[in-house]
């Protein structure tokens, strides 16, 4: 594992350098049952372990003690101390902490979930009223109507969690809807010092807004009327309106720290949650060094469904995060609603854009001077991005200013323009952002435009400056538009495959609504998120895979409520094999960044289809032992597997089972290394469980990726009873293709099992790699 080697080489070099006294947080994994009887508690033992590597004058500082999903503790150590600790016989691993970042009313209707639907998913599950969704985020604003407990029964008897109360989070903050609330800040404060309690709450209360938003997407109650600044008027509702919520605050102003996230997993599993929703992510590292993968493994082992956002690093490839196969990795798509705003230029051209703005507008019919911030003096670069203090008030006063996207937040650019005296803003995408547009709540009249339209506006400004008529423009806000086609579209920002850790597992798994999503918002901050915005709104419209993830968390709660016997892998399989890839025009979903047809690397199995997921026909189930075999076949050591799974693995059987691609996953990915070979082949073994009709016959249809031969044996699966399991084998043959060293080529297809009533669809991707 390159990162693992790199980490210890780094420790060695640090230990011998002048920086050896610099402390950072490490997570320490110890043997499950190795506590000597001389110690009364694990806490006492861990303190002693720490004391043995620290100098007598150094106080030991345990940040967290873990005993549910992980055996061990986290502490601040120098690299030298971490190396010493690693040598103790009962220490299995010392893992450096990573800092994660947030992956910042029609979506239930768009997904086919309607309150009047007496036979659909909401009815079957009584809206998931006995299920608990744990949301790991920035906390929650409990007073919001989305979290009221009207008509809810008593708190489920299995619930063992608690509502941590403080001065600003009183006992009345929790109810029969919000049944648990905790906060974890020791890791954050160990790195950043004591928090500033004038800007953050030392409690489960949300000072950011992100956590309130994601919690209400997963399980918000029906609220009418709902809107943001008059936009998106209608009923707001989460995916599972009667499911219970538990808020675990792990994210703070400086990020979300692994030691705190692992402590939240430890608490949530012990508390009795059924689903964990995690809209945060970071750098992809081997699974045994990834706190989210470690916590999620133990959660899945206890029957808890874990969904995580894929990340907002798109549209580039290899950007997907949270890629462990026991996690549902969720990308983002659009819904059939947008917020158009037109930019009218002085040359008569009308450029389409998007915006959410309802403040004092631009005078109708009047054209305003138009300038590009990058030509207004300074170094050009910082001013082009409208960074704080970069604009010359003389240059922008009374004008509409074109700002380039990047570095600071989109809404913050508007604040910079407004402070400098600008009257409006046009926010232009860069080449990397492509044509993907995100509507923001702006503090001045503003519109976002795509990369090509940004080029056109800058070109107009340039040519007008050379003529006698300077550039002018105005912005016209068009409100809310429904029934937009095409939809869904893969959001430009949504992170893409291939999976950088295990290319044989296709990630993301699926996409869900994540662009311009209306959900609850706290009183603490204005809807734009900039410090000067004092507007109050009950709801806000945000975008990100952060918003897509809780859609799936809520849907998983509904499916678990309707099918309590299903494992987390079965729930994920049902969502994946029933997902769709065709938009509301009847064509394959397009990629928002360039308007081209999107692929499996963009959307995984497709866009979630909740009502079909209710009755998938067959599921691909996965046990804990299957995941251990997968890790064995991924060449993880016995020690690394123990770090991750808390189990001592026997890898001899796994090698007989074949290879990494034989994990019983609902999607198929074959990866070939072209070491001068002309013809290559592999086989992928799968097992499906019948959850449909007792006597059913499924026949296979194959759409092979171009240039490959794909066969399936047998071609027919005959089931006699529900719960019966049958195996099949997929053989993939591929011919070498011309590639430069280090190059790759991917072709896609599908395998569908059908009994005439259910279509159980799995994507298939074949990747050819030319070694360097």
Annotated catalytic residues are: 137, 210, 546
CA distance 760 to 752: 5
CA distance 470 to 757: 64
Q: Structure tokens of 67?
A: 């005993």
State how far the alpha carbon of 112 is from the alpha carbons of 77, 93, 239, 527, 735, in Å: 51, 47, 11, 28, 43
CA distance 591 to 434: 10
Q: Structure tokens of 568?
A: 């987390």
- 3-class secondary structure, 576: helix
CA distance 59 to 76: 10
Angle at 653 between CA 648 and CA 656, to 5 degrees: 150
- 3-class secondary structure, 131: coil
Do the beta carbons of residue 298 and residue 70 sit within 8 Å? Answer: yes
Q: Which residues pair with 356 in a beta bridge?
A: 441
E strand or H helix that includes residue 454? helix 451-465
CA distance 286 to 582: 34
Q: Structure tokens of 673?
A: 């290394």
Name the nearest CA neighbour of 173 among 162, 159, 188: 162
Name the nearest CA neighbour of 608 among 581, 568, 569, 570: 581
CA distance 148 to 178: 8
Residue keyed to tokens 């997570």: 27
CA distance 313 to 492: 9
Q: DSSP string of 582-593? A: B-TTSSBPBBTT
CA distance 751 to 761: 6
CA 279 distance to own-chain centroid? 5
Alpha helices per DSSP H over 130-280:
186-192, 210-219, 258-271
Do the beta carbons of residue 402 and residue 461 sit within 8 Å? Answer: yes
Cis status, amide bond into 740, omega within 30 of 0: no
Do the beta carbons of residue 308 and residue 576 sit within 8 Å? Answer: no
Contacts of residue 761, Cβ cutoff 8 Å, sequence gap at least 6: 577, 578, 579, 605, 606, 750, 751, 752
Do the beta carbons of residue 732 and residue 766 sit within 8 Å? Answer: yes
Name the nearest CA neighbour of 549 among 312, 233, 247: 312
Q: Residue 492 class from Cβ within 10 Å (0-12 exposed, 13-18 middle, 19+ buried)?
A: buried
Residue 752: other Cβ atoms inside 10 A: 16
CA distance 414 to 391: 12
Contacts of residue 661, Cβ cutoff 8 Å, sequence gap at least 6: 504, 668, 669, 670, 671, 682, 684
Q: Structure tokens of 487?
A: 């939809």
Do the beta carbons of residue 767 and residue 661 sit within 8 Å? Answer: no
Name the nearest CA neighbour of 453 among 473, 480, 430: 430
Cis status, amide bond into 315, omega within 30 of 0: yes
Q: DSSP string of 623-659? A: -HHHHHHHHHHTT--HHHHHHHHSS----HHHHHH--
Q: How many residues does the chain have?
A: 772
């Amino acid at each position: 594992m390159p990162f693992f080697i790199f980490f210890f080489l780094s420790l060695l070099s640090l230990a011998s350098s002048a920086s050896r006294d610099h402390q950072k947080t490490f997570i320490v994994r110890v043997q499950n049952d190795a506590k000597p009887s001389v110690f009364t508690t694990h806490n006492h033992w861990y303190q002693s372990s720490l004391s043995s590597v620290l100098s007598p004058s150094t106080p030991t500082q345990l940040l967290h003690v873990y005993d549910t999903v992980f055996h061990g503790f986290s502490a601040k150590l120098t690299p030298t101390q971490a190396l010493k600790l690693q040598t103790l016989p009962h220490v299995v691993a010392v893992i450096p902490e990573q800092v994660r970042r947030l992956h910042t009313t029609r979506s239930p209707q768009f997904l086919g979930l309607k309150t009047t639907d007496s036979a659909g998913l909401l009815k079957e599950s009584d809206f998931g009223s006995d299920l608990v969704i744990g949301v790991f985020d920035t906390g929650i604003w409990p007073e919001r109507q989305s979290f009221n407990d009207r008509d809810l029964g008593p708190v489920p008897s299995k619930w063992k969690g608690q509502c941590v109360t403080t001065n600003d989070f009183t006992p009345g903050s929790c109810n029969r809807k919000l049944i648990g609330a905790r906060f974890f800040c020791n890791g954050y404060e160990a790195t950043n010092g004591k928090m500033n309690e004038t800007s953050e709450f030392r409690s489960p209360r949300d000072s950011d807004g992100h956590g309130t938003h994601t919690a209400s997407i997963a399980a918000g109650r029906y609220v009418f009327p709902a809107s943001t600044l008059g936009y998106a008027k209608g009923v707001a509702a989460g995916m599972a309106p009667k499911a219970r919520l538990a808020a675990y605050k792990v994210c703070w102003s400086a990020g979300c720290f692994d030691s705190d996230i692992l402590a939240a997993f430890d608490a949530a599993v012990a508390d009795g949650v059924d689903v964990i929703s995690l809209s945060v992510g970071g750098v992809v590292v081997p699974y045994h060094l990834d706190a989210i993968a470690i916590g999620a493994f133990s959660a899945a082992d206890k029957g808890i469904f874990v969904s995580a956002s894929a990340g907002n690093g798109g549209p580039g490839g290899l950007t997907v995060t949270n890629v462990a196969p026991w996690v549902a990795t969720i990308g983002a798509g659009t819904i059939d609603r947008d917020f158009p705003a037109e930019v009218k230029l002085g040359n008569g051209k009308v450029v389409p854009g998007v915006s959410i703005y309802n403040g004092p507008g631009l005078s109708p019919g009047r054209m305003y001077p138009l300038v590009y911030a990058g030509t207004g003096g300074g170094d050009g670069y910082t001013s082009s991005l409208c960074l704080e203090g970069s604009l010359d008030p003389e240059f922008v006063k009374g004008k509409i200013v074109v700002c380039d996207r990047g570095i600071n937040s989109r809404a913050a650019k508007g604040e910079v323009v407004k402070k400098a005296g600008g009257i409006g803003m046009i926010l232009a995408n860069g080449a990397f952002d492509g044509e993907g547009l995100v509507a923001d709540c702006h503090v001045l009249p503003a519109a976002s435009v795509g990369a090509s339209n940004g080029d056109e506006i800058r070109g107009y400004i340039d040519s007008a400056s050379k003529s006698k008529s300077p550039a002018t423009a105005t912005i016209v806000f068009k409100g809310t538009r429904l029934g937009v086609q095409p939809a869904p579209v893969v959001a430009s920002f949504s992170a893409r495959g291939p999976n950088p850790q295990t290319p044989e597992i296709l990630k993301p798994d699926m996409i869900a609504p994540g662009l311009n999503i209306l959900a609850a918002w706290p009183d603490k901050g204005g809807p734009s998120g900039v410090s000067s915005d004092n507007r109050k709104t009950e709801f806000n419209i945000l975008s990100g895979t952060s918003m897509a993830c809780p859609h799936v968390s809520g849907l998983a709660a509904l499916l678990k409520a309707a099918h309590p016997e299903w494992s987390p892998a079965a729930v994920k399989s049902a969502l994946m094999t029933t997902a769709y890839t065709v938009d509301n025009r009847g064509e394959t979903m397009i990629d928002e960044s360039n308007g081209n047809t999107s692929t499996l690397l963009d959307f995984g199995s497709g866009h979630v289809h909740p009502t079909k997921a209710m009755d998938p026909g067959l599921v691909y189930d996965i046990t804990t032992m299957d995941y251990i075999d997968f890790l064995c076949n991924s060449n993880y050591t016995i020690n690394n597997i123990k770090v991750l799974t808390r189990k001592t693995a026997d890898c001899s059987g796994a090698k007989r089972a074949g290879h990494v691609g034989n994990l019983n996953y609902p999607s198929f990915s074959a990866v070939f290394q072209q070491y001068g070979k002309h013809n290559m082949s592999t086989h992928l073994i799968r097992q499906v469980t019948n959850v449909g009709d007792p006597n059913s016959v499924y026949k296979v249809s194959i759409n092979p990726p171009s240039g490959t031969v794909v066969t399936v044996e047998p071609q027919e699966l005959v089931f006699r009873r529900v719960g019966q399991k049958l195996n099949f084998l997929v053989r993939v043959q591929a011919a070498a293709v011309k590639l430069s060293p280090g190059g790759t080529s991917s072709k896609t297809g599908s395998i569908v099992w059908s009994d005439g009533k259910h279509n159980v669809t799995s994507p298939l991707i074949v990747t050819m790699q030319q070694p360097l």
